[in-house]
Amino acid sequence: MMRFDALGLGDSDGDWGDGSFTVKANDVIAACTFMAERGTPADILIGHSFGGAAVLAAARDSPGVRAVVTVGAPMDPVHAEIQYDAVVETVLAEGSATWMVGGKALTLKRAFVEDVRAADLQEKIRSLRLPLLILHSPTDNTVGIENASRIFQTARHPRSFVSLEGSNHFLFGPGEARRAGRIIGAWADAYLGD
């Protein structure tokens, strides 16, 4: 198992502003390649929110992956723009701007905005050809449930959609993350065997 934070987030080094949606998807592919080359392939990709969109974009090019799970993922990466809409015009005009996320100052750069606007998951999802589990809360106020519906409708079988009733986007409530983990584990048994 490997878990990593995207560039500049969590415990990850680097400047978040140097990343982009493409960089995030390529980081997933690089991590899967690393795992496969050492003989421990990443059988299942799990991504939350923007990370869910990144695993959808990366899955087909990620060696060893046999199943994909998204949790609260947007259908269109440009959905993330609502998080930084207050500075997007400044970014496009001046090249960058600082914005606050969870008490942390991040630098948003024009290249990031342009890359996110150019990203298109429709064909990536349609041609996935891997089992897909979509977890989403109908009360998610960050990424609306309609995103999960669109991902589900675009994907081909085998695909599953489980409502995380009563959960928030970040699964911070008591037992919410544990519940999602149990659902993922039970679902994955059918596709990963051992």
Determine the structural domain holding residue 137 and report its residue range: 16-192
Q: What is the structure's pLDDT at 192?
A: 87
Q: Is residue 9 part of a domain?
A: no
pLDDT tier at 99, thresholds 50, 70, 90: confident
pLDDT tier at 64, thresholds 50, 70, 90: very high
Please tell me the total count of domains within the chain.
1
For residues 77 and 22, give the distance between their C-alpha atoms in angstroms, rounded to a whole number: 10
Q: Is residue 166 part of a domain?
A: yes
What are the tokens at 122? 């429709």
Q: What is the mean pLDDT of the chain?
A: 90
What are the tokens at 114? 């342009």
Collapsed DSSP state (helix, strand, coil) of residue 139: coil
| CATH code of the domain covering residue 119 | 3.40.50.1820
pTM listed for this prediction: 0.90
Q: Is residue 8 part of a domain?
A: no
Q: Is residue 185 part of a domain?
A: yes
